[in-house]
Structures are given as C-alpha cells and as structure tokens.
Structure 1
Amino acid sequence: MTDHAAVVHGEPVPKSRVDALLETVQERPFRGAGNGATSHNDAADGHRHNAALSSPARAERQRRRWATQVVVADELARRAVAERGLPPVPEVSPTRLLAVAENDVADLGSIVAAALAHSPAARTLLTELEAEQHIPEEAVQDYYDRNRDRFLTPEALRRGVDPFGRRAAPSDFLPFEQVRQAVEGELRRAAAHRAFFAWFDQARADVVYAAGHEHPGDPSHPDHEHRH
C-alpha cells in the first residue's frame, strides 16, 4: 500500500499532507456559476451536490481527490518559485480552518481558489505573474467604454440613470483619468489569473496520482464529476 498521494517530478507527495489539509476543510468548497476562466478540468469539479453525489462515501472520496489537487498545486508552485529564483516561502502549516471566499470560488474554481488561500507559494507565484502582465492602454480604454454601468457617479446612481440610454450625459460618468489605474489593475489581475490557470494545467500534466487521489474530473475513476 503506497503512502503517497501523488508523484511530482519523481518526488512523492505524502498522503499526510492531504490529510492535514482535509483537517482544515469542513466541506469541499463548490464553484459558483458563470465561471468561464478555469480550465476544462476544473470547470467540472465545482458543481454542487446532486443525486449522483448523494452517497456520503462517494462525496468523501471526491473531497480527498479535490484536496490532493490543492496540495499538488502547492508543491508545483513551491518548485516554480524556486526555479524563478524568488525568495523562499514559508511552509504551509494548516492548523486552522481554511477559509475560501465564495466570490473566489465562483471566479477561479474551487481548486485554484483553495490553492491560493492555502499556499503561500501559489500566492507568491500569482503575484509574480501579475507583475509580468502588460495591459495596453487601448485595452483599458475599451473596458471603460464597454462597461459604462460600472462608472456611473454616485449622483447618477441615485437618479437611476441608464448608463446605456440616450439621456446619459458625460457628467454622469466618472472620468476615464480618474478610474484608469483601477481598471488597469483589474485587467492585470485577470490576466495574471489566466496565466496561473495556464501554468497549473501545464505543470500538473505529468503528475502521477495514487489510486483514490486522481483529479475529481478524471473519467478513469467511477466517481468522476466531468459534467458540463
């Protein structure tokens, strides 16, 4: 009987790391609707329980597989941080309940959201990826032009101005120069998350999982949740 949950670049990841994470997660966070940013594998992993997952034993097996992905993300991120020559990150010490914001689950998928909440290395890597993103000025202007409802002034909001209606005046909107930096930052974070998803999908492609620790959406095991 193997004592590891996965093998990453020839190095075993002990089951004890998965067990330690599971101790901090009361139940597996679920992904909200409307997320088009996660990979096709993670897109299946977050749907809420339904009749197919009514068995507590099956749900627990899937929770273990989900936790394995989070631990693997931490291990891969730790290696990526070292390869990039970034400062060492502290060891994960899961001694308290892991809090994962519902908005993050909806935007990122449950695995990536939990990995970023759990792993200092994953957060360090994401910060580095964010710093690498270049957002063209025209992209910032285009976002401002296409999302006018987000830039109504407080007074226009109180008056119930329709941002896309003919009666909306330029004075009903916050000036582009006032919000440009915030918009650029938002676009940069979104680009960093896309880069993180791409990195994670590529980095875990060669990971070998022990039986019972496969990806929750892996169709090779009978409990898989690969539904779209």
Structure 2
Amino acid sequence: MTEDYAASIRGKPIPKQHVETFLSTHALRGAGNCAINHDAAAHERRHRQQRRWATQVIVTDELARHACAARRLPPPDDVLPMHLLTIPETDVADLGSIIAAALAHSPAARALLAALEREQHIPETAVRDYYDRNQDRFLTPEALRRGVDPYDAPDPSDIHPYEQVQDGIAQQLRHAAARRAFFDWLDRARADVVYAEGHEHPGDPSHPDHEHRH
C-alpha cells in the first residue's frame, strides 16, 4: 500500500483524500473549539483519532457496497452525501458512533441493514415471551395515569392485549436481530481490510492513542 492510501480492501485502495474530504465535510459534533485548546498534544491526539474514526466510516461504506453487490441489491448512490446529517444520540448509544455515522451517511450500509432485517425470522413464541416478560411496556394510558404497578398483578384491562401489540413487538425484535446481524457481518468483513499507519481502528491497542469505544 502506498502512502497515498488510508486502507486497502481486498487489494482495492481507499485514498487518504476520501478520509480528509469526509472529515472536512462532516464535522464531529462536540469535538470542541480547537482555537481555545491550549494543549497542542491533546489536540493532535484528537485529530488522529478523528482521522481513524472517519477511516472506519469510509471503510464501512465500501464494505457495504461490496456486500450489496454480492446480494444483487439495487446499487446505492455513487458517493457519500456531502452534507452534515444529524446522527440521533440514541443510535450512537445503541450502535456506537462509527456504525451510527456509517448508517447515517452510507446508502449502501442502510440498504444492507434493511436487507438483513427482511431476512430475520422471529418465532411467535419469542414475541409472546417478550410480551409476558415486559408487561410494564404495555400498560394502557389509563393505567399509567393511575400509577398502576405492572409487577403487582395488574388487572388484565390495564394491559394492552397481546393481539394488539404482537406485530409491533415482532417488528422491534426483527430490527434488533438485524442490527446484531449487521455487527456480525461487519466484524467478518473487516478481516479483509489492511490499514495504513495512522488510519487504524480507534480502538486498536497497537497504537498509543487507542480508545476502547466505537
């Protein structure tokens, strides 16, 4: 790999310029104002980690494009959208910032996740089990207003009937299963990636700035 490339996927290079363009276009919220950061070393560490973070987003997009092509899914847009999209904080908390950003910015990643969700089969027994174990989530508005304790043998009329919420539960479980499948796919796909120095995963313990988070 030459010094002009941030990473290589099965021999196909990803130019460093793609990473720099992404970083300059998609500012990281909460990154802080560099003008008031008097610790130059800390600022440089942050910049290196941002570069590694951006590399992972770009790599995830490229891997997703390969996966979509292999699945014969409709081709996504040719390039990442060059404007800042808002990434929901709940997605960052649930998915990690790299995957949340990749899904926000990569049509291919979103297409792959949607395909994985369509493939998930949730047994009816799992749906019923979720309903039975999470009665607190299915209290009626009237029961909530009265402060009914869902763990103290509530009256059946205080709980939404199973048939009323069954489809919603199944969809929720499919969504969660698809996200797990996406994580598994990405872990396997990353095995084919070779990174240039300075573009490793932010959590890679082989470099001194690593952070064990995504």
Same-fold status (TM-score > 0.5)? yes
Change (3 A) 1:29 1:179: farther
Aligned AA for 2:163? E
Q: Indicate if the aligned counterparts of 2:80 and 2:106 stay in contact, CA closer than 8 A.
A: no
Bigger proportion of residues as helix: 2
- Per the normalisation by structure 1, the TM-score is 0.85
Q: Indicate if the aligned counterparts of 1:21 and 1:94 stay in contact, CA closer than 8 A.
A: no
Aligned to 2:125: 138
Shift of 1:123: 0.3
- Describe how 1:1-228 pairs up with structure 2 within 5 A: 2-27=3-28, 55-166=42-153, 168-226=154-212
SS of residue matched to 1:77? helix
Partners of 1:28 and 1:224 in 2: how far apart? 20
Shift of 1:29: 7.2
Shift of 1:206: 2.1
Change (3 A) 1:176 1:25: same
SS of residue matched to 2:192? coil
SS of residue matched to 1:23? helix
Partners of 1:115 and 1:66 in 2: how far apart? 10
- CA-to-partner distance for each residue in 1:193-224, whole Å, 9 max, x for gaps? 00000000000112000111000011111111
Partners of 1:96 and 1:20 in 2: how far apart? 11
Which runs of no fewer than 5 residues in structure 2 stay unpaired?
32-40
- CA-to-partner distance for each residue in 1:99-133, whole Å, 9 max, x for gaps? 21100000111111111001000000000000000
Shift of 1:28: 5.9
- CA-to-partner distance for each residue in 1:65-120, whole Å, 9 max, x for gaps? 01100100000000000011111111234321132110000011111111100100
CA-based RMSD = 1.6
Q: Indicate if the aligned counterparts of 1:156 and 1:172 stay in contact, CA closer than 8 A.
A: yes
Structure ID, larger Rg = 2
Aligned AA for 1:58? R
Shift of 1:19: 1.4
Q: What percent of counterpart residues are identical?
A: 65
- Per the normalisation by structure 2, the TM-score is 0.91
Which runs of no fewer than 5 residues in structure 1 stay unpaired?
31-53
